[in-house]
Amino acid sequence: MTDSKPLSGKLALVTGASRGIGAATAEALAREGAHVILVARTAKALEEVEDRIHAAGGSATIAPLDLTDDEAIGKLGAAVSERWGALDVLVLNAAMLGSLTPVEHIDPKEYSRILTLNVGSNQALIAAFDQMLRKAERADVIGVTSSVGHEPRAFWGAYGSSKAALENLLGAYADETEHTGRIRVQIVDPGATRTRMRQLAFPGEEPESVKPPEAVAEFILQRLSSDATTGELVRAEA
C-alpha cells in the first residue's frame, strides 16, 4: 500500500524543537510523513516531543545539542550524513531573546551569546548540512525571524540586530544556491505567537490573545508545498 503522506521518505531537522514553534513544527512535519531530527539542549524535553510524535504514528530521532558549540554541530552533520543520504528540510528556529534594554546598556557578554546562537549557529548548521541539502531532489531551508529584524524597535536592539543579520545571511545563501535549482530558502516571521519567548517579552499579555505555535507550524507546512521562490521573507498571519 502506498503511503500518501506528502513528506513520506523525507528527512527534516528542526532546531529549538523542545517547545514552542520548533516542537509544533517538528510534530507537523512528522505527521506528514517526514522522519524528524529534533535538536535542542534539553534531552528530557526532546524526549517528550519524540514520544508525542511516536504516539501519533510518526518517527523522530532526538539530538540533544548545545548549538553554540560549532564542533558539536559539525559532529552532528557528520553523523546524520553517515546515516542518511540527503536532508530535505532544515528548520532554523532556535533563538535567544536576551534582555530588552537601550542599546547603550546592552551587556557585551549577553550580546555575544545572542549573536552566537541566533546567527553563528545557523551559519554553522548550513555549513554542516549544505552537502546533504544539495543531494536532496528539492530541499527547503526555513529560517525563523522576527519583525524586529526588519522593523527596528526601541529596547530590542540586541535581539533585532541578530535577526537582521540572520535574514541577511539567509538571503545571501538563497542567492548563492539559486542556480542549483535544488535549494529553496524561506524566511518566516511568525508574528505574535504563544511561546515562552513571547511571555518573557510581554509578561502582561494574555496568552490566549495570540495564536498558538501550531498555527505557525501549519503555515510552514503550507510554505513547503507552495510555489514560493527562494529568498522570500513572509509573515505568518493568524
pLDDT digits (tens, 9 = 90+) for 47-70: 999 999 999 999 999 999 999 999
Give catalytic status of residue 111 as yes or no. Answer: no
Within-domain flag for 221? yes
Q: Over the chain, what is the mean pLDDT?
A: 95
Name which of 166-170, 205-209, 229-233 the model is least confident about. Answer: 205-209
- Catalytic one of 111, 129, 156, 159: 159
Nearest to residue 18, comparing CAs of 81, 60, 55, 75?
60
Within-domain flag for 4? no
**Domain total for the chain?**
1
As a whole number, mean pLDDT of residues 174-202 equals 90
CA distance 193 to 216: 8
Domain coverage including residue 131:
11-235
Nearest to residue 123, comparing CAs of 70, 49, 47?
70
The answer to whether residue 1 scores a pLDDT higher than 50 is no
CATH number at residue 51: 3.40.50.720
Percent of the chain surpassing pLDDT 90: 88
User: Considering the entire predicted model, what is its pTM?
Assistant: 0.95
Within-domain flag for 5? no
Rounded to 5 degrees, what angle do the CA atoms 6, 47, 202 make?
A: 85
The answer to whether residue 231 scores a pLDDT higher than 60 is yes
pLDDT at residue 141, as a whole number = 98
Within-domain flag for 194? yes
Within-domain flag for 94? yes
Condensed to tens digits (0 to 9), the pLDDT of residues 3-31 reads 689 999 999 999 999 999 999 999 999 99
Within-domain flag for 76? yes
The distance of Cα 115 from the centroid of its chain, to the nearest Å, equals 16
As a whole number, mean pLDDT of residues 89-110 equals 97
CA distance 153 to 156: 6
The answer to whether residue 209 scores a pLDDT higher than 90 is no
The answer to whether residue 107 scores a pLDDT higher than 80 is yes
- Please report where in the chains the cell 528556529 appears, as a residue: 93
Condensed to tens digits (0 to 9), the pLDDT of residues 121-173 reads 999 999 999 999 999 999 999 999 999 999 999 999 999 999 999 999 999 99
Residues facing residue 40 across a β-bridge: 64
Within-domain flag for 2? no
Within-domain flag for 3? no
- Please report where in the chains the cell 501549519 appears, as a residue: 218
As a whole number, mean pLDDT of residues 168-179 equals 98
